Amino acid sequence: MPKRSTRALMGGMFLAGLVYGLFVLSTGRYDDPFVWLAIYIEVVLIVASLTQKPPTKKVLVFLILVMITYAMAAVMLGLLSEVVIMAIGGIVLYAGVMTEPKFPLTKRAIATGLLVGLIYTFLGIYLALKVGVVYIIGAEMLGAIVLSVWGKYTKEENTIVVAISNSSAMISVSVLFNVPAIAIFAPEIAYGPPALITYPFIVVLTGISVIFGLLLLAPLRERFEDEPWPQVRPQAETIISMGLDQTAKRTVLIGVAASAAWVGATKIAEGSDPGSLMAVPNAFKSIIPAAGAIPEWIGISNSPLIASIGFFVGWKRTLVIFAGSIASMLIWIFLEGALPITYEEHLKRAEILYLAIGVFVSVMASDVIASRKKEMKPEEFEEIVNSPSTGSEEESEGFVIENPHNISEVPRLKRAKGFLFSIEAMREEMHEMVTNPRAYLRDNRGELPIWVIFISLTLYAIVGILIFGVVPIFPNLHIHWSLFVIGTPLVIVSAYFTARAICETGMLAGYISDMVAIPAVLLLRSTFQSVTVFMSMLETLQVAAIALLIHMKLGRFTGVRGRDIAKAVSIGMVLSTFVGSLMIYAIFTTYGFGGSEFPSPAAHLFGFIVLSLQGIGNLEIPGVNQFPGMPQELIFLYLIAFTVAGLIVGRELSKRDMSPMSFVVGVLIPPATAVAMLFGAYIDYRIKKQDGFQPDSTGHEITSSPLRKKMSRILSGVVAGEAIVVAIWVIWSAIILFA
């Protein structure tokens, strides 16, 4: 039970909130229903904190639903104010102080997860807009440091920290694959008036997708259990080892301090001098006037974070990225005359985007070919099924069949299964889930039935049609109902194969859901903003499902129960919905999307693909307007030559087991960024050369040498240090701008 002093303190704080609410009411805001609701919430919190027992799990779920409903309603109706934020903060404070959570979902684990989540959510947003290559690394290290300050370190609590922070970062990043394209290619829609990209818009888009995304892959998680998970295993090993290595925290803090000091000094210098210090040699233009003729996106980026990312990307991938940037620079030199133009002007060159599309198509083609190679022919399956069981897993090529059925029995078994899966059985199962979900999950070992996916997607489509179609609440945005009908079922296929790619290779690569853009543009004649927003919703829905799947597996490695992981991921998704959206909006209002500061390479490519489809639908060649007075046939051959070049480059890179998508990234990011990444790549090369390449059983490189561990911790601290300083700087700049 909470102490009397704690109850009195909480009651006093909520009383202060009540007094402020009454004061706001007295200023004339009687017609604002959310002020009245805030006053009512404060009264309830006063009574509850003084008289009620610690809230149970059911009460906490109810409080979360009230908070989300209240916040979403205020955002959607444009009535979000300081009073609403105060009431929401009161609910969070009451839940955080008055509850008595059980291990490992403790108060310090949740608080640490929120703190680290703030840093890494901004880091993910920063990298997605800056580079397009997102490596969310080091959360477990910062989590270990903060947890150690509060008491004894435990791997279970640090797993909760990682689940909260990384889930929040992943969700916020997913929004940035598409939405910035509206600001880049349709600024009159994005900036208005009336403006489409607003804080309420980002919150609604994110919130709807994450709620339904939690259930998208949860019933299928057992199908991924036996995969290698090369991305999750090293993280789990780090979480476990952080409690054993006393020097690990010191090395991370060294990186944080050094990076924060460097970036902080740079920002202070930029504040006293109107010039930019973001890249060399442009930073020296006040001393050497000739340096001003070189654009700030050419040279070397002044960013310890970007330099460190080259280490985590790996030297081979970084070299491919650098090769893409060389192609971009050659276009600037020979086709643009090496003029001091802005990066926005350079990136809209048709040659760049046609080259990137060529490589992108080669990636899709290689993925399709690879998937076909893995498919088993029907006769092979029949031979395995009908063969007698030997009891040996090796002799059955990885298939263990205890009682094999003859292939002729399959139709009868399907009919029996269909009979058993009746509507009545599903209704009874739904009743059990609603009346006692904890007992249901315990009896079913945490597994959910497949039909949960289809009910969730159906509700998702209905909600989307109502908000964006029937009663559109945002200006210049109307999403046709047919998009939800076509795209929503397809996202389960995309999410499944994307999850399969992650658990087998550690790489996030999913393209199936993007195919929705083709009928949406060619057949439905959807507007640019409607296609972009809908694709962003599908992307966020998919990433939310994958975030839960990844951290469920992480919990298996570190000994954390699935329900605790699900709660932690839910907290991270709430953090990304409200705080991550605020960070995205702050960057948008302060810097914008598509410039040299935040080029948004993924959104640039997506936007050009949509515009290309629109041009094809109107019998126009995309990019032809950049060549006035020239015959369209000649322009078409000229631009297609760049696409063919991209196809060749992508094919050759694939043959050499190198990443074609890294080349696309290099083409679309500022060359100064790619050059800076070479520093980290060189460190990675030297360490690998010293340690030697030793593949593990999954074919991935063993990275457990003491030198690599030490360098990984230092550079993780460098990444976090710059993320902290830049996050504070951006949010502070946005506050000054709003003021």
| Alpha helix positions (H), 214-314 | 232-242, 248-272, 304-313
CA-closest candidate to residue 390, choices 401, 398, 382, 381: 401
The pair of three-digit structure tokens given for residue 470, joined into one six-digit string: 């029937």
Tokens (6 digits) for 357: 């599309």
Distance CA 423, CA 439 (A): 22
What mean pLDDT comes out for the span 56-80? 81
Tell me the per-residue pLDDT of 655-696, one tens digit each, with 9 for 90 and over: 888 888 789 888 988 899 999 999 999 999 999 888 765 544
Give the separation between CA 538 and CA 468, rounded to whole angstroms: 14
pTM of the model: 0.75
pLDDT number for residue 367: 59
Asked if omega into 281 is within 30° of 0 (cis), the reply is yes
Q: Are 660 and 650 in contact (CB under 8 A)?
A: yes
Q: What is the mean pLDDT of residues 554-564?
A: 90
Q: Which residues contact 368 (CB under 8 A, 6 or more apart)?
A: none
Per-residue pLDDT tens digits for 228-281? 676 687 778 778 877 656 677 788 889 889 999 998 888 888 766 655 677 888
- Residue 400: pLDDT band with limits 50, 70, 90: very low
Q: How many CB atoms lie within 10 A of CB 56?
A: 10
Confirm if 532 and 606 have CB atoms less than 8 A apart.
yes
Burial string for 593-604 (b: 16+ CB within 10 Å, else e) reads: bbbbbbbbbbbb
Question: Confidence class of residue 380 from pLDDT cuts 50, 70 and 90?
Answer: very low
Compute the distance between CA of residue 121 and CA of residue 112 in angstroms, rounded to an integer.
Answer: 14
What does the pLDDT read at residue 121? 93
Amino acid 291 reads: A
b/e burial code for range 225-263 (CB count within 10 A of at least 16 → b): eebbbbbbbbbbbbbbebbebeebbebbbebbebbbebb
- The residues facing 280 across adjacent strands are 300
**Residue with structure tokens 């019933």?**
219
Q: Which helix (H) or strand (E) holds 681?
A: helix 671-691
pLDDT in the model for residue 682: 95
Q: At 701, is the secondary structure helix, strand, or coil?
A: strand
Secondary structure letter of residue 56 according to DSSP: -
Distance, in Å, from the CA atom of 683 to the CA atom of 686, rounded to the nearest integer, reads 5
DSSP run (H or E) holding 4 = helix 4-26
Helices and strands in the chain, H and E counts: 31, 2
Find where tokens 């027992």 sit.
Answer: 53
Question: For the CA atoms of 27, 31, 33, 34, what is the dihedral angle to 10 degrees?
Answer: -40
What are the backbone dihedrals phi and psi of residue 405, each rounded to the nearest 5 degrees, phi first? Answer: -100, 150
19 Cβ contact partners less than 8 Å away, ≥ 6 residues apart: none
Residue written as tokens 């006393």?
246
Residue 379 has pLDDT above 70, yes or no: no
Phi and psi dihedrals of 621, rounded to 5?
-90, 120
Q: Would you say residue 131 has pLDDT above 90?
A: no
pLDDT for 584 equals: 93
Reduce the DSSP state of residue 545 to 3 states and report it: helix
Cis-peptide into 101, omega within 30 deg? no
Compare 156 and 408 and report the one with higher pLDDT: 156
Neighbours of 285 (CB within 10 A): 16
Task: Name the residue with tokens 């009540």.
Answer: 18
- Bridge partner residues of 140 (DSSP): none
Higher pLDDT, 180 or 496: 180
Q: At what angle do helices 199-213 and 57-76 cross, to 10 degrees?
A: 140
Of the candidates 151, 168, 155, 146, the residue with the CA atom closest to the CA atom of residue 256: 146
Give the rounded percent of residues in the chain with a pLDDT score beyond 70: 80
Of the candidates 122, 123, 121, 129, which has an alpha carbon nearest to the alpha carbon of residue 595? 129
Cβ contact 545:216 at 8 Å? yes
Check whether 282 has a pLDDT greater than 90.
Answer: no
Residues in a beta bridge with 508: none
pLDDT at 631 over 90: no
Query: Under a CB-based contact definition with an 8 Å cutoff, are residues 584 and 176 in contact?
Result: yes
**Which residues have a Cβ under 8 Å from the Cβ of 81 and sit 6 or more positions away?**
32, 34, 35, 74
Q: Among candidates 616, 593, 531, which has minimal Cα distance to 126? A: 593
Give the number of residues written for the chain. Answer: 739
Tens-digit pLDDT profile for residues 83-111: 888 888 888 888 877 877 788 888 899 98
Report how far residue 389's alpha carbon sits from residue 395's, in angstroms, rounded to the nearest whole number.
9
What is the rounded distance in angstroms from the CA atom of residue 354 to the CA atom of residue 644? 9
pLDDT of 48 strictly over 70: yes
| pLDDT at residue 378 is higher than 50 | no
Predicted confidence at residue 89, as pLDDT, reads 83
Q: Is residue 567's pLDDT more than 80?
A: yes
- Name which residue leads in pLDDT, 22 or 131: 22
- What's the half-sphere exposure (Cβ side, CA atoms, 13 Å) at 506? 16
pLDDT in tens, 573-584: 989 998 899 899
Contacts of 130 (CB under 8 A, 6+ apart): 306, 597, 598, 599, 669, 673
More confident residue, 430 or 474: 474
pLDDT tens, residue by residue, 482-528:
888 888 887 887 787 777 767 765 555 444 455 556 666 666 677 88
Neighbours of 443 (CB within 10 A): 11
CA dist 700 to 236, 506, 551, 692, Å?
16, 10, 20, 13
Residue 46: the pLDDT is 92
Q: What is the distance between the alpha carbons of residues 52 and 45, in angstroms, rounded to a whole number? A: 10
DSSP string, 438-449: HHHHHHTTT---
Query: What pLDDT band is residue 186 in, cutting at 50, 70 and 90?
Result: very high
Q: What percent of the chain has pLDDT over 90?
A: 22
For 476, residues 6+ apart whose C-beta sits below 8 A from its C-beta are 189, 194, 196, 529
Q: Which helix (H) or strand (E) holds 280?
A: strand 279-280
| pLDDT score for 262 | 92
Residue 644 phi/psi, 5-degree rounding, is: -65, -40
Tokens 């980002």, located at residue = 202
- Residue in the structure block whose two tokens are 């992508």: 650
Examine the pLDDT at 394 and tell me if it is beyond 60: no
Q: What radius of gyration do the chain's Cα atoms show?
A: 27
What's at 283, amino acid-wise?
A: A
CB distance 318 to 680 below 8 Å? yes
Is the pLDDT score of 549 beyond 60?
Answer: yes
Mean pLDDT, range 162-174, rounded to an integer: 93
Return the structure tokens found at 50.
Answer: 């003084």
**Residue among 367, 356, 363 nearest 612 (CA):** 356
Mean pLDDT of the chain: 80
**Amino acid residing at 117:** G
* pLDDT value of residue 388: 47
What secondary structure letter does DSSP report for 55? P
Token pair belonging to 731: 């949010």
Using the structure block, give the residue that is written with the tokens 């805001």: 29
The predicted structure's pLDDT at residue 381: 42
